[in-house]
Chain A
Amino acid sequence: MRIYGEEHPNQQILSRIATNDGHGENSSYFDGWKAYEKDPFHLTDNPTGVIQMGLAENQLSLDLIRDWMKKNPQASICTEEGVSEFKAIANFQDYHGLPAFRKAIAQFMEKVRGGRARFDPDRIVMSGGATGAQETIAFCLADPGEAFLIPTPYYPGFDRDFRWRTGVQLLPIHCHSSNKFKITQAALETAYRKARNSHIRVKGILVTNPSNPLGTTMDRETLRTLVSFVNEKRMHLVCDEIFSGTVFDKPSYVSVSEVIEDDPYCDRDLIHIAYSLSKDLGVPGFRVGVIYSYNDAVVSCARKMSSFGLVSSQTQHLLASMLGDEEFTTSFLATSRTRLCGRRRVFTDGLKRVGIHCLDGNAGLFCWMDLRPLLKEATVEAELRLWRVIINDVKLNISPGSSFHCSEPGWFRVCFANMDDTAMKIALRRIESFVYRENDAAVQAKNKRRWDEALRLSLPRRRFEDPTIMTPHLMSPHSPLVQAAT
């Protein structure tokens, strides 16, 4: 602990939480964000800037939300039509939330899961975004020093949301590319045993389904394994399902809520779901997170804690009418899925053309990109070196696998839903020319050894490669791909 008061009499003594690095923003992984903030891409104002591909934001279907809001002005209160509701709404501060809001959320959650699971509005607890939901769950389920197991790679924000103020630990369950990062019984047992051997009390397992960063969904078998494992060991299972509405391809989505409805022996007190509208509806600015627990004690405790992150009643009112509009939600989900699917296809196809593969995915706002062939050696250092080149030279902010605690170097998470088609095209073009350059460099290195005297051979290539990479006129209609082909 840093005690300011003793070293600098003018400084105030602050808490450990205020002075430690639990927020994670001092880690070197933030360099990508800093690079983006310093030099953000803009189609006309700054076409050579860094393109943000590190933010899992869903902007592909915001136009639908906008149109709905325009069509239903009374929902947002600040209109003539809505003002009549104002009195009740402005003063509404019951931490249960507006009944209509909870009902609409439960309905929406059912719809997202294809009606295969039922949700009770009385179990819906509000919180400030999924961030707040995760923290509240951690506060409710574990005491400082206790641990949750979490399959790697995992969303690095959990290190902050789940741990910072709660003092709870996260212990990795190592997953590997050999079986597409699936969670196995053996990996579970190993992680559990390791924790037991170090005398750490394991209170549960935290998983994301669909997975962030993998963009895959869990199969029924894996979920069953998890459910029976937590039942056997008497611990909790927290499923973060904030991407459940983004599943755009086969296999179809299986939520833990379906699995436990099929399993009469499951102790439901152990199952908790975190949900949010930030990803599925693309409205993170609304700060709506939800805890859905099957455990009465957790529901009642989390509800009391929700005072620390209540959703504005105006926003509740707005969303209650929006999500209550079944016709709208049906068409929104369908359109959003189609667009996400199309976008992912454009992106992965573009990558495939230059020989880059992604893990097969059917959900999420990102791809799990395999750049292992581009690593000089299979180490985290090599991964970070490559990452810095991509940020500084290729000007893309993507996230390295090591920031997700991935045990294999060379994987990167690339978000594709927070930009328009043009920006996506430019990003792809940058990746393509980068890969060509890397391959050329590799070929050159080989050639240089073999044809040391015949420098002429490699010169022409460099002549047309260099200007495309280095000039600020990336916006020019001819892509490096076209040039390379001609």
Chain B
Amino acid sequence: MSPTPSKKSADADAAAAAATATQARSSATGLGGGGGGAGMRLIVPLQGVVQGRGGLVLGTLIPCALFYFLQFYLRRNRSPPPTSPQPPAANGPDLPGIVRSSSRNFLSARGSSGHAAVSSRAASIARSGDSPYFVGTKKCSEDPYHPVDNPDGVIQLGLAENRLSLDLIGDWLARNVTNTLLDERQGGLSISGLATYQPFDGLVELKMAVAEFMGQVMQGSVSFDPSQIIMTAGATPAIEILSFCLADAGNAFLVPSPYYPGYDRNIRWRAGIELIPVPCRSTDNFGLSIPALERAYNQAKMRGVKVRAVLFSNPSNPVGNLLHRETLRDLLDFVTEKGIHVIADEVFAGSTHGTEDFVSMAEVLNTDEFDRSRVHIVYGLSKDLSVPGFRIGLIYSFNEHVIAAASKLARFSSVSVPTQHLLISMLNDTKFITQYIKTNRERLRVMYALLVNGLKQLGVESVKSSGGFYCWTDMSKFMKSYSEKGELELWKEMLNVAKIHLTPGTACHCIEPGWFRLCFTTLTEKDVPVVLERIKRVVDNH
């Protein structure tokens, strides 16, 4: 290919992220440019075929070979594409005086785009900063609601964070102050047990304490084996590490939707795994349906995409419903039949507030004969113990190979050791933990009832749910049009007029427009009337 004009080369450089696309584009131009001569040469043998002189073989082979060589020639002369255009020499420190006219162009392009030689992975995320979640959260942090200091501020209902029971944990710390972490008289630690390298996948003591806690959360229906636990710095890396273990880039997971929007970042972004939403419907109370899974699986197969796992949250985020024992069994049958994995995200297991009992995937495995090696559970203390800042997540796997691989990958996201020790002592106080779980559930129940009943009086219906920090409400009748656009307009109105930040259903890949997730655990009981009054403001407009 002839040397491209400098503008084009700068363009190629700037679009380093789309290197392949650039390459494709320029080979296309190359073909077009050489079209005259090459075209003639192609036509001659083809003529031979038509006229019955050249023969079929010659007529096919020669054009193919020509095309092949042309491509080969182009590739050889272009590669590696973006490095070939050298930057203007004026950039070098030796020649400060010489400024070419083109370099000005070059500099400004660099300044504005931050020199796009970052990876395409980085570039893809840099563009995603304007999602509703980021816009809303930004507004909340710029103008946060406070009952006294800023009563007109934005109320954050988009963040699944539990502030209802933090006082309990604070009290525990105050009561159980054994002075510092380093108090050796109290059987505390020496500095070398705290500061030096410790196992990346978590201290054994913490694994034992967490296994105990998980058993307690599941009300003793199942016990957890500490040797199957890999600790990570939060559930986010736990999910990513599992994804890296179970699938290659380009493979896919089936995810019943609506699903937690964070999955897109946790799984798609760096692991390069596709998430295929499997739509659940309001008519089924957003319950998981096996036929829908089957359909999605077959469609993916037809596209040539390899499905490696089913990922679901239970209690579901954003809906808040629990999966029944039968559904879990059917799901296990499904993944066994397809020979794929299943990932159960149970981070809200201890945060149930209904009468219904939570059934863990581990419990179903206990009672039935299933192939356990395909089952993996994600858990964490951010939700159930309301300590998201401490970054405690874990993988609980029944597959020894996954445990082995994940324990090595845990080095990229391990938990700070002082924090691990703090939690070990807290979790080992089982009396406190039992009381905490009970009180927390009760407080969740009160807040949930308060909000859902209040919404009902405004004519806003919610799905009956029994877990999580949120309710899943149907506001479709207040939309101007029954569409994604209508939903986003309503979301904007809620943010700008009612000054409430909600999570819109589209962010959760909900197939039906008009659904919103409202988190109630960052509120106090006094805030609820304020929230309701603000929603009423928007609702009355319609």
- List 23 A–B pairs whose Cβ atoms lie within 8 Å, in order of A's numbering: A13-B340, A14-B245, A18-B246, A62-B195, A79-B180, A90-B388, A92-B388, A131-B411, A143-B121, A165-B270, A201-B80, A228-B92, A234-B115, A265-B93, A285-B194, A285-B196, A286-B195, A295-B114, A295-B115, A308-B412, A309-B237, A312-B391, A313-B391
Contact residues, A242-277 vs B (CB, 8 A): 263, 265, 267, 269-270
Asked whether B118 lies within 8 Å of A310 as measured between CB atoms, the reply is no
Within the complex, the shortest CB–CB distance from A1 to chain B, in Å, comes to: 8
* Chain B residues near A236 (CB-CB < 8 A): 117
Asked whether B114 lies within 8 Å of A296 as measured between CB atoms, the reply is yes
* Chain B residues near A200 (CB-CB < 8 A): 80
Within the complex, the shortest CB–CB distance from B49 to chain A, in Å, comes to: 37
Contact residues, B239-272 vs A (CB, 8 A): 240, 244-249, 251, 265-266, 269-271
Stretch of B215-223, B416-424, B439-447 with 4 or more beta carbons under 8 angstroms from chain A? B416-424
Please report the C-alpha to C-alpha distance between residue A15 and residue B83 in the assembled complex, in whole angstroms: 33
Contact residues, A51-101 vs B (CB, 8 A): 55, 57, 59, 62-63, 65-66, 69-70, 73, 76-80, 83, 86-87, 89-93
User: Closest 9 interchain pairs by CB?
Assistant: A313-B389, A285-B417, A66-B191, A18-B405, A297-B114, A312-B419, A315-B416, A18-B245, A301-B122
Q: Which of A55, A284, A310 has the most CB of B within 10 A?
A: A310
Within the complex, the shortest CB–CB distance from A217 to chain B, in Å, comes to: 23
Q: A69-B181, A196-B83, A295-B118 are known; give 12 further A-B pairs, CB within 8 A.
A: A15-B308, A23-B409, A73-B179, A76-B181, A93-B389, A285-B417, A287-B415, A301-B125, A307-B236, A308-B413, A310-B233, A310-B234
B399 at the interface (CB under 8 A from A): yes
Cross-chain contact of A314 among B92, B194, B233, B422 (Cβ < 8 A):
B422
A10 at the interface (CB under 8 A from B): yes
A5 at the interface (CB under 8 A from B): yes
Please report the C-alpha to C-alpha distance between residue A128 and residue B194 in the assembled complex, in whole angstroms: 16
A441 at the interface (CB under 8 A from B): no
Given A15-B244, A87-B170, A203-B117, verify A78-B177 contact (CB < 8 Å): yes
* Chain B residues near A312 (CB-CB < 8 A): 233, 389-391, 415-416, 418-419
Asked whether B122 lies within 8 Å of A140 as measured between CB atoms, the reply is yes
Q: What 1/0 mask marks residues of chain B from 398 to 409 whose CB sits below 8 Å from any chain A CB?
A: 010110011011
**Whose C-beta in chain B lies nearest to the C-beta of A268?**
B115
A183 at the interface (CB under 8 A from B): no
Please report the C-alpha to C-alpha distance between residue A287 and residue B415 in the assembled complex, in whole angstroms: 7
Asked whether A83 lies within 8 Å of B177 as measured between CB atoms, the reply is yes
Asked whether B120 lies within 8 Å of A143 as measured between CB atoms, the reply is yes
Within the complex, the shortest CB–CB distance from B510 to chain A, in Å, comes to: 23
Within the complex, the shortest CB–CB distance from A197 to chain B, in Å, comes to: 10
A378 at the interface (CB under 8 A from B): no
Within the complex, the shortest CB–CB distance from A199 to chain B, in Å, comes to: 5
Cross-chain contact of A65 among B117, B125, B195, B269 (Cβ < 8 A):
B195
Number of A-B contacts (CB under 8 A): 292
Contact residues, B108-160 vs A (CB, 8 A): 110, 113-123, 125-126, 129
Within the complex, the shortest CB–CB distance from B94 to chain A, in Å, comes to: 9
Q: What 1/0 mask marks residues of chain B from 267 to 299 whose CB sits below 8 Å from any chain A CB?
A: 001110000000000000000000000000000
* Chain A residues near B371 (CB-CB < 8 A): 10
* Chain A residues near B374 (CB-CB < 8 A): 12
Cross-chain contact of A15 among B163, B237, B245 (Cβ < 8 A):
B245
Please report the C-alpha to C-alpha distance between residue A71 and residue B247 in the assembled complex, in whole angstroms: 49
Please report the C-alpha to C-alpha distance between residue A231 and residue B93 in the assembled complex, in whole angstroms: 9
Within the complex, the shortest CB–CB distance from A143 to chain B, in Å, comes to: 5
Contact residues, A1-56 vs B (CB, 8 A): 1, 4-5, 10-19, 23, 25, 55
Within the complex, the shortest CB–CB distance from B363 to chain A, in Å, comes to: 21
Please report the C-alpha to C-alpha distance between residue A415 and residue B37 in the assembled complex, in whole angstroms: 68
Please report the C-alpha to C-alpha distance between residue A295 and residue B126 in the assembled complex, in whole angstroms: 13
Please report the C-alpha to C-alpha distance between residue A440 and residue B111 in the assembled complex, in whole angstroms: 66
A305 at the interface (CB under 8 A from B): yes
Given A18-B402, A234-B87, A297-B126, verify A70-B182 contact (CB < 8 Å): yes
B450 at the interface (CB under 8 A from A): no
A376 at the interface (CB under 8 A from B): no
* Chain B residues near A309 (CB-CB < 8 A): 233, 237, 412-413
A292 at the interface (CB under 8 A from B): no
* Chain B residues near A363 (CB-CB < 8 A): none
* Chain A residues near B251 (CB-CB < 8 A): 15
Q: What 1/0 mask marks residues of chain A from 103 to 138 whose CB sits below 8 Å from any chain B CB?
A: 000000000000000000000000011011001000
A356 at the interface (CB under 8 A from B): no
Contact residues, A208-253 vs B (CB, 8 A): 228, 231-236
Cross-chain contact of A86 among B121, B169, B388 (Cβ < 8 A):
B169
B91 at the interface (CB under 8 A from A): yes
Could you tell me how many residues of chain B have their Cβ less than 8 Å away from some Cβ of chain A? 96
How many chain A residues sit at the interface, stated as a range, is 35 or more
Asked whether A55 lies within 8 Å of B80 as measured between CB atoms, the reply is no
Asked whether B270 lies within 8 Å of A128 as measured between CB atoms, the reply is no
A149 at the interface (CB under 8 A from B): no
Asked whether A286 lies within 8 Å of B416 as measured between CB atoms, the reply is yes
Within the complex, the shortest CB–CB distance from A17 to chain B, in Å, comes to: 5
Asked whether B91 lies within 8 Å of A78 as measured between CB atoms, the reply is no
Cross-chain contact of B83 among A10, A165, A202, A282 (Cβ < 8 A):
A202
Asked whether B412 lies within 8 Å of A270 as measured between CB atoms, the reply is no
Please report the C-alpha to C-alpha distance between residue A283 and residue B181 in the assembled complex, in whole angstroms: 15
Given A83-B174, A91-B386, A282-B195, verify A13-B80 contact (CB < 8 Å): no
B387 at the interface (CB under 8 A from A): yes
* Chain A residues near B417 (CB-CB < 8 A): 285-287
Given A93-B382, A301-B125, A307-B236, verify A314-B390 contact (CB < 8 Å): yes
* Chain A residues near B271 (CB-CB < 8 A): 165
Asked whether B416 lies within 8 Å of A139 as measured between CB atoms, the reply is no
B72 at the interface (CB under 8 A from A): no
Within the complex, the shortest CB–CB distance from A366 to chain B, in Å, comes to: 15
A311 at the interface (CB under 8 A from B): yes
Q: Which of A73, A135, A200, A285 has the most CB of B within 10 A?
A: A285
Please report the C-alpha to C-alpha distance between residue A15 and residue B249 in the assembled complex, in whole angstroms: 9
Within the complex, the shortest CB–CB distance from A404 to chain B, in Å, comes to: 19
Asked whether A12 lies within 8 Å of B399 as measured between CB atoms, the reply is yes
Contact residues, A378-425 vs B (CB, 8 A): none
Given A12-B341, A196-B80, verify A139-B93 contact (CB < 8 Å): no
* Chain B residues near A92 (CB-CB < 8 A): 388-389
A318 at the interface (CB under 8 A from B): yes
* Chain A residues near B79 (CB-CB < 8 A): 199
Asked whether A5 lies within 8 Å of B339 as measured between CB atoms, the reply is yes
Given A267-B115, A314-B419, verify A90-B169 contact (CB < 8 Å): yes
Q: What 1/0 mask marks residues of chain B from 314 to 353 whose CB sits below 8 Å from any chain A CB?
A: 0000000000000000000000000111000000000000
B161 at the interface (CB under 8 A from A): yes
* Chain B residues near A295 (CB-CB < 8 A): 114-115, 118
* Chain A residues near B466 (CB-CB < 8 A): none
B530 at the interface (CB under 8 A from A): no
Please report the C-alpha to C-alpha distance between residue A313 and residue B389 in the assembled complex, in whole angstroms: 5
B96 at the interface (CB under 8 A from A): yes
Given A128-B413, A132-B413, verify A285-B198 contact (CB < 8 Å): yes
Asked whether A91 lies within 8 Å of B191 as measured between CB atoms, the reply is no
Asked whether B390 lies within 8 Å of A313 as measured between CB atoms, the reply is yes
Please report the C-alpha to C-alpha distance between residue A62 and residue B236 in the assembled complex, in whole angstroms: 32
Asked whether A132 lies within 8 Å of B192 as measured between CB atoms, the reply is no
Asked whether B234 lies within 8 Å of A307 as measured between CB atoms, the reply is yes
Within the complex, the shortest CB–CB distance from A14 to chain B, in Å, comes to: 6
Within the complex, the shortest CB–CB distance from B389 to chain A, in Å, comes to: 3
Cross-chain contact of B373 among A10, A263, A265, A300 (Cβ < 8 A):
A10
Asked whether A57 lies within 8 Å of B416 as measured between CB atoms, the reply is no
**Whose C-beta in chain B lies nearest to the C-beta of A144?**
B249
Within the complex, the shortest CB–CB distance from A94 to chain B, in Å, comes to: 8
* Chain B residues near A300 (CB-CB < 8 A): 126, 129
A180 at the interface (CB under 8 A from B): no
B44 at the interface (CB under 8 A from A): no
Asked whether B245 lies within 8 Å of A307 as measured between CB atoms, the reply is no
Asked whether A263 lies within 8 Å of B161 as measured between CB atoms, the reply is no
